[in-house]
Structure 1
Amino acid sequence: MALVFKWLMRITTAAVALVVLCVCMVYYLASRSLPDYDKTLELPYLTAEVEIVRDNANVPHIFGQTDQDVFYALGYAHAQDRLWQMTMLRRTAQGRLSEVFGTATVDIDKLIRRLDIYTRAVASVEAQDEQTMLILRAYATGVNARLDEINDSALGRGAPEMFLFNAPVSAWRPADSLAIIKLMGLQLAGHLDEEVLRARMSLALSDAQRLSDILPDAPGSGIAALPEYAELVQGVTRFAENTMPPQHPLSPFKRRMFAGASNAWAAAPSRSASGGTLLANDPHLEFTAPAIWYLARLELQSGGVIGGTIPGMPLVLSGRSENLGWGLTYAYMDDQDAYIEELNPDNPEEYRTPDGFKPFETRGSIINIKDAAPITITLRWTENGPVLPGTHYNLGTITPPGHVASLAWTVLSRNDTSMGAALRLMRAKSVREAIAAGEGYLAPAMNLMLVDREEIAMKMIGAMPRRDARHQSQGRLPSPGWIEANRWQGRLPYASNPEFVAPNGGILGNTNNKTVDRPFPNHVSFDWGDTQRVQRWQGLMQAREVHTRDSFIEAQLDTVSFTARSLLPLIGAELWFTGEAAPDGTPLRQRQRALTLLAGWSGEMNEHMPEPLIYAAWLRSLQERMIRDELGPLASEMTHVEPLFIERAFRDIDGAAVWCDVVQSAPVETCADMARLALDDALVWIEETWGPALETLRWGDAHQATHDHAVLGQVPILRFFVNIRQSTNGGDNTLQRGLTKGRGPDPFHNTHGAAYRGVYDFADPDSSVFVTSTGQSGHFLSRHYDDLAQLWRRGEYIPMSLDEGLARAAAVGVTILRPRP
């Protein structure tokens, strides 16, 4: 027995030692790729010395003698901190994820190849002006200098992920940066999904009038500038279930609710307490670890520029210079149209056009797959755009036999000059110069919020398709591609894009809401991203005669739900304080407790309160009960509550109360019946998930922000190191937006919101502030991987200063790049 025990001890000791050795080896290899920020390097192609001064938040402040050298250093800094992110963005745009991740990402690669995004980015290189090309080449050279340093010095392949996945990194090219702009457009786009869903709904509903209930138009004439303060397809007869494959974490194809969103507002000197202009901006994207944003300051020949960049592109997308501030919101311009193309019954390689049948433009494309044989797909293009498979956004469910679907989209231009326009914006000195710079911008369409020291403005930038007034569906549904009136006829002039300059009321803003109400075909869009947040924003802006930086921050962090305040009195009208007393433990008693809590609630979606969870679960159950009987499986597409639909039904607008009646049941249910039953459903779900004690519920437990690593976030053990989870305030319709997941076992997880926030004050520009949701580094062993995360969660910021002395005073490192002799 002693001998057995001795050998067991030896084996155990050896196993423990082996595990420790493996852990130490993994840590050593991973830590080799941690950047050294305090060093001097000699690199090729520089014209003079450049300094990268990293402040205590690891924000690089880059000083050089020429703009090309500064952008060279930005490329180097991006590659130091976010090499894995950059290479994944590039691989996604190229349709080459499967070379690393195998069969799991083949569907993504197929769709990207069919859209031909990277080929079009390569073609767009020829459309760039000389100055833009100089900057793109300088930036690419800086990225490649870091790649050479990694290879020459054995710096752990540049990122820990490179050890786990065999992902060879080729040299960076100017076309790679152009491709990432197009990829951003893909992540923001939502009109194609909206068109297909509208078509599917129209097929599913027996009463066509009900389509305007479940997919309502944004009401009103449009809001951008506030007044003065004192004024206070035919042929489809079948319906099919969802055919779109499950979404991979790396997929850039976002569903309609997770398309672009954001907030931006500005105040003129007349509405500012300090007499200077103010600007606040918080673009909303899917949460990831690290956040897609990267803070940086560039000292250009035209002056300092500071703000949020996206690694892979030499752009400050939201930020300020000494004299100009700019922010972005997704414009919701209708820049996508789906077409149904008729195949030639005698030759399926031809499709019908206004001039008869023509052959598709075709090209083969080989997709290499890790641990599997490569596959070849045939890319087909019509005069309208690329042919897409039926699984893409469920196009197959609305495409008749003998037809295929194609897509017209401004992002797919081969002459995309958006990069040059964005670079000119960074050098602009005034609002007027910035608006002029936007003329060359093509896609994705954005609202550009601008302030200089005296003036404020908002201009929609991006190519607006010119449609024929006789278009059969006005771009709201997929339409026959062979009818001339349905086809695009070029683009409208830049001057026709909505523009608001120096409004009399002194306040401008956008929450993805409807901005203009113009007749088709100059309408901009029928579908907008917000009808709720804008209501709260209007109230906050007009509640003060003058604003400050702090009042703009307060609005940016506001968590009061206009939707809750407007809908709860409506849906609970016949439930408040009614019914006899009920004993504890009964459903009636639980319902009364929930209603008592909600009756005294202000609508604040605070992480520490129970009411937001009860409200959110109630509304979710209510919509599910109202639509499931009419829509069947299609009801699963409505992952989030549509407030206008609930309001239309409970106010019985145009007979919308019919949604409250269950089609299959004999009695005629009222909306009050639905509200009561839905509340009971919600309380049962809450009790099963969180327990019966309603008063101890915390919204933040359900509404956790999921900053997950797209690749390592699902790996056991490792996910605890790479994922960042936080209890958060806000909700789907609050200004501090925290869009919920909408489905699955954790439907209220916060998955999409403001990963970047900035507030710019031109009365004292160096008092401006910004923050991102995680940290500057993409390396999970770095202290800068998540050092900004708690600041972001608490609604705190870091200084956004162009003061060189402040940057140097608490620098975590200074990197000096010198020209190699």
Structure 2
Amino acid sequence: MVTLFRWLFRATVALVLVGVLGFGFIWWVASRSMPDYDGTWAVQGIGAPVEIVRDHSDVPHIFGKTDADVFFALGYAHAQDRLWQMLMLRRTVQGRLSELFGERTLPIDRLMRRLDLYTLATASVDAQDDDAGAALDAYSAGVNAWLQEVNAGARGRGAPEMWLFPQAISPWQPADSLAILKLMALELNAQLPAEVLRARTSLDLPPERLADILPDAPGQGVAALPAYAELVGPLQPSYADAAPRDPLFPNGGETALAGASNAWASGPIRSATGSTLLANDPHLPLTAPGWFYLARLELQSGGVIGGTIPGLPVVITGRNADLGWGVTSSYLDDLDVYAEEVNPQNADEYRTPDGWVPFRTRASIIEVKDAPAETLTLRWTDNGPVLGPEDFDLGLVRPPGHVMSVAWTALSDHDTTLTAAMHLMRARSVQEGLDATKLFVAPSQNLTLADREHIAMALVGAIPARDPGHQSKGRLPTLGWHPENRWHGVQPVSSNPVFLDPEGGIVGNTNNKILDAPFPDHISYLWGDTQRIQRWQFLMQGREIHTRESFIEAQLDTVSPAARTLLPLVGRDLWFTGEAAPDGTPERQRQRALALLAEWNGEMNEHMPEPLIYSAWMRALQERLIRDDLGPLADRFDHVEPLFIERVFKNVDGASAWCDVKQSAPVETCDDMARESLDDALLLIGERYGTAIESWRWGDAHEAAQDHPVLGTTPLLAWFVNIRQSTSGGDQTLMRGVTSGQEPNPYLNVHASAYRGVYDFADPDSSVFIIATGQSGHPLSPFYDDLGELWRRGEYIPMSLDPALARAAAVGVTTLVPTP
């Protein structure tokens, strides 16, 4: 027995030693790719020495003698910290993910090849002006200089992910940056999935009920639309199981996860300091690392600081010494879907107003890891590229004998958006900033501007010129050969809405409806927000004057106007009714939940149980209301629509009909639905978090899921690469945290502010900003998630252009010198 114990002990010790040594070796290999921020390196592509000073938060402050040298160093810094992310973005837009991940990513590659964004980006390189072209060239040279350093210095292949997914890395090209900008346009697009969902739903519902479940934003009404089947011919509802969203797929094809943001500015008359204020927080899908990367560039025109996107040589949102700018998704209807009839006698032709013409075609080969390569035939019509039936569920609304194509402003081969962004960084006034907007194409944004004396908001980007007789007004797929459905180019830039120095002294946008105008000057029928704007108006008008702190307070506000509206409506006949029920019964649990909600102010605080009860109740209520009418299609309505529930419980145009379950003999009332759905919600919460209501926390369910898109589901590795934090906020709060809507964690926070900035032009160096994770994309770096904790707590770091402050607590100074 002693001998056996001795050998077991030795084997255990040996296994532990092997494990420790193995872990140590893996750690050493992975750490080799972490950049050294202190040192001097000789590089090709610069004319004079350049300094990259990393402040205490790892924000690079770049100083060079020429703008080209500064953009070179930005490319170098981006590649040092986010190389894997940049390469993944490039592979995505090129349609080359399957070379690494096999058949899993074939649907993404097929879509990207069909949209052909990379070819359009390549053609757009020549459309940039000389300054933008020089910046693109210099930035690319900087990225490639780091790639050379990785190869020469044996720096662990540049990123730890490269050990798991080895790949040949081609040099960075200017077209790569422009292609990533087009990929951002796809990420922010909500119109295509919205058209498909409206078409599918209209096949199940009469027009008056369609207006309930897909309500228009409040404001001037629109004429009733024809049913989708009337536009494209006989078509039966068809269903497909909702596949899990691939984290690599742009926005997952979901309208609820398309771009969103907040931005507002105060003029001198509404500012305590007598100058202007500007706040901006763009919302994007949460990932690790996050989308944004903070940087300061010292250009010949002066310093610029703010949020950049790795792969792009521009500050997307930020400020210089005299001008600040912020961006929000405009929800411009910049895309139309068409059903194109295929010639039954010749499948290579489609119908146009002038008869049958051949598709433009090109073969494209997709290499697939561990599988045969796939040859894809790309096709285009006069309206745009032909997409596949699996793309955005287009096959479910495709008439027999047709294919589906899209017209989209981002499908431009003369896209000057990057040049416009370059001009904006150098602008010194609101008027110069507005002048720069004339060159924006896609993605369309609401651009909020503030200099020391003026404020403005302008919709930027190309607006399609539609025929007033368009059959669906851009809300449903239409027949592509009808002349009235086709675009007639784009509208003149002078027609884009601009709000300059309004009388009230404040401009702002929460993705809300910004104007009422008849089609086709309406901007959009689909808006990203009908709720947050109410809270924003209250906070802005609640003070005569504003400060940096009041803007921060509004940015971090977690009160849900939807909760304040819906709870009195839905629970109006449930509050404090009936005798006290015995402990342990569902009735008693319901009474306790209602008592809590009766005293709740709608604040979606992570430490409170009320937000969880409210969210689960409304989710269960919407499910009960729509499931019998929509069947499997109800799965697509996985986010609560407050306007729908409000219409039902106010019985707007007979909307209370949703409360009756058609398949059952009794006639259910809305009170029945409210009570039963609350019981459903409490049961589901109790199964997961226990029956003690006082112990429930919204933050336990509403964790920010900042997961690694590739390694985030891998056992053990997920523990290192994913960033999970309890968060406040919700779908309709200014500090927005959109829930996933997907089981098993429907309240997971998956879409929130990727960047927050508040700029005070009375004292610009007191401005502040933050991003959702950290600067580094390396999981072993101390800068991988350090800013994420500040972001969660609503804290910020300084946004200063003072070089002395950057150097005072620098974590490293990288000096690049020209190669002799």
TM-score range, shorter chain: over 0.9
Distance 2:9 2:576 in 1: 69
Q: Is this contact kept in 1: 2:232–2:339, CA < 8 A? A: no
Distance 1:58 1:118 in 2: 32
Evaluate the alpha carbon distance shift between residue 690 and residue 331 of structure 1 in structure 2; reply closer, same or farther with a 3 A threshold: same
Give the alignment of 1:590-629 within 5 angstroms.
590-629=589-628
DSSP 3-state at the match of 1:818: strand
Distance 2:619 2:559 in 1: 18
Give the alignment of 1:10-25 within 5 angstroms.
10-25=10-25
Distance 2:540 2:441 in 1: 32
Distance 2:129 2:454 in 1: 29
Give the alignment of 1:549-588 within 5 angstroms.
549-588=548-587
Residue in 1 that maps onto 2:225: none
Q: TM-score, normalised by structure 1?
A: 0.98
DSSP 3-state at the match of 1:464: coil
Structure 1 residue ranges without an equivalent (≥5): 223-232
Residue in 2 that maps onto 1:453: 452
Moved more, 365-374 or 236-245: 236-245
Q: Report Cα offsets for 1:450-507 as digits up to 9, x if no partner.
A: 0000000001000000000011111010000000110010000111111100000000
1:18 is displaced (CA, Å) by 2.2
1:242 is displaced (CA, Å) by 2.8
Matched, 1:812 2:790: no
The list of structure 1 runs, each at least 4 consecutive aligned residues, that deviate by more than 6 angstroms after superposition, is: none
Residue in 1 that maps onto 2:56: 56
DSSP 3-state at the match of 2:272: coil
Question: Which amino acid is the alignment partner of residue 172 of structure 1?
Answer: W
Q: Report Cα offsets for 1:789-812 as digits up to 9, x if no partner.
A: 111110000000001110000000
Question: Which amino acid is the alignment partner of residue 582 of structure 2?
Answer: P
Question: Which amino acid is the alignment partner of residue 481 of structure 2?
Answer: W
Distance 2:773 2:466 in 1: 42
Matched, 1:353 2:352: yes
Residue in 2 that maps onto 1:444: 443
Residue in 2 that maps onto 1:96: 96
| Matched residues, number | 810
Q: Is this contact kept in 1: 2:232–2:399, CA < 8 A? A: no
DSSP 3-state at the match of 1:370: coil
Matched, 1:788 2:774: no
Q: Report Cα offsets for 1:86-141 as digits up to 9, x if no partner.
A: 00000001000011111111111011101111111111112112211100000000
1:272 is displaced (CA, Å) by 0.2
Moved more, 539-548 or 431-440: 431-440
Distance 1:363 1:313 in 2: 29
Residue in 2 that maps onto 1:85: 85
Give the alignment of 1:178-577 within 5 angstroms.
178-205=178-205, 207-220=206-219, 233-242=231-240, 245-254=243-252, 255-577=254-576
1:5 is displaced (CA, Å) by 4.5
Residue in 2 that maps onto 1:718: 717
Distance 1:358 1:166 in 2: 45
Residue in 2 that maps onto 1:225: none
Distance 2:215 2:637 in 1: 13
Q: Report Cα offsets for 1:751-799 as digits up to 9, x if no partner.
A: 1000210000001000000001111000011100011111111000000
DSSP 3-state at the match of 2:786: coil
Distance 2:467 2:357 in 1: 23
Residue in 1 that maps onto 2:227: none
Residue in 2 that maps onto 1:143: 143
Distance 1:3 1:394 in 2: 67
Distance 2:776 2:443 in 1: 27
Q: Is this contact kept in 1: 2:251–2:257, CA < 8 A? A: no
Distance 1:199 1:443 in 2: 25
Give the alignment of 1:672-821 within 5 angstroms.
672-821=671-820
Question: Which amino acid is the alignment partner of residue 126 of structure 1?
Answer: D
Distance 1:684 1:139 in 2: 56
Moved more, 233-242 or 498-507: 233-242
Q: Percent same amino acid among aligned pairs?
A: 65
Question: Which amino acid is the alignment partner of residue 387 of structure 1?
Answer: V
Q: Is this contact kept in 2: 1:221–1:516, CA < 8 A? A: no
Q: Is this contact kept in 2: 1:236–1:399, CA < 8 A? A: no
Q: Is this contact kept in 2: 1:759–1:769, CA < 8 A? A: yes
DSSP 3-state at the match of 1:124: helix
Residue in 1 that maps onto 2:174: 174
Residue in 2 that maps onto 1:661: 660
Question: Which amino acid is the alignment partner of residue 426 of structure 2?
Answer: R
Distance 2:323 2:211 in 1: 42
Distance 2:273 2:141 in 1: 44
1:247 is displaced (CA, Å) by 2.3
Residue in 2 that maps onto 1:41: 41
Distance 1:56 1:115 in 2: 42
Distance 1:614 1:28 in 2: 47
Evaluate the alpha carbon distance shift between residue 701 and residue 295 of structure 1 in structure 2; reply closer, same or farther with a 3 A threshold: same
Residue in 2 that maps onto 1:116: 116
Question: Which amino acid is the alignment partner of residue 485 of structure 1?
Answer: E
Distance 1:600 1:46 in 2: 64
Distance 2:59 2:633 in 1: 46
Distance 2:209 2:445 in 1: 31
DSSP 3-state at the match of 1:411: coil
Residue in 2 that maps onto 1:157: 157
Question: Which amino acid is the alignment partner of residue 111 of structure 2?
Answer: L
1:243 is displaced (CA, Å) by 5.9
Distance 1:236 1:81 in 2: 54
Question: Which amino acid is the alignment partner of residue 218 of structure 2?
Answer: P
Distance 1:763 1:690 in 2: 49
Distance 2:392 2:162 in 1: 32
The two structures, once aligned, show a CA RMSD in angstroms of 1.1
Q: Report Cα offsets for 1:515-552 as digits up to 9, x if no partner.
A: 01110011110000000000000000000000000000
Q: Report Cα offsets for 1:679-727 as digits up to 9, x if no partner.
A: 1111111111111111221110011000001111111111111111000
Q: Report Cα offsets for 1:261-313 as digits up to 9, x if no partner.
A: 00000000100001110000000000001111100000000000000000000
Q: Is this contact kept in 1: 2:620–2:680, CA < 8 A? A: yes
Distance 2:343 2:128 in 1: 39
DSSP 3-state at the match of 1:326: strand
Distance 1:328 1:170 in 2: 32
DSSP 3-state at the match of 2:730: coil
Residue in 1 that maps onto 2:228: none
DSSP 3-state at the match of 2:758: strand
1:559 is displaced (CA, Å) by 0.4
Distance 2:678 2:12 in 1: 56
Q: Is this contact kept in 2: 1:53–1:815, CA < 8 A? A: yes
Q: Is this contact kept in 1: 2:700–2:726, CA < 8 A? A: yes
1:610 is displaced (CA, Å) by 0.6
Distance 2:5 2:533 in 1: 72
Q: Is this contact kept in 1: 2:251–2:285, CA < 8 A? A: no
Q: Is this contact kept in 1: 2:560–2:602, CA < 8 A? A: yes
Distance 1:782 1:45 in 2: 28
Q: Is this contact kept in 1: 2:287–2:709, CA < 8 A? A: yes
Q: Is this contact kept in 2: 1:443–1:462, CA < 8 A? A: yes
Q: Is this contact kept in 1: 2:340–2:350, CA < 8 A? A: yes
Distance 1:24 1:651 in 2: 64
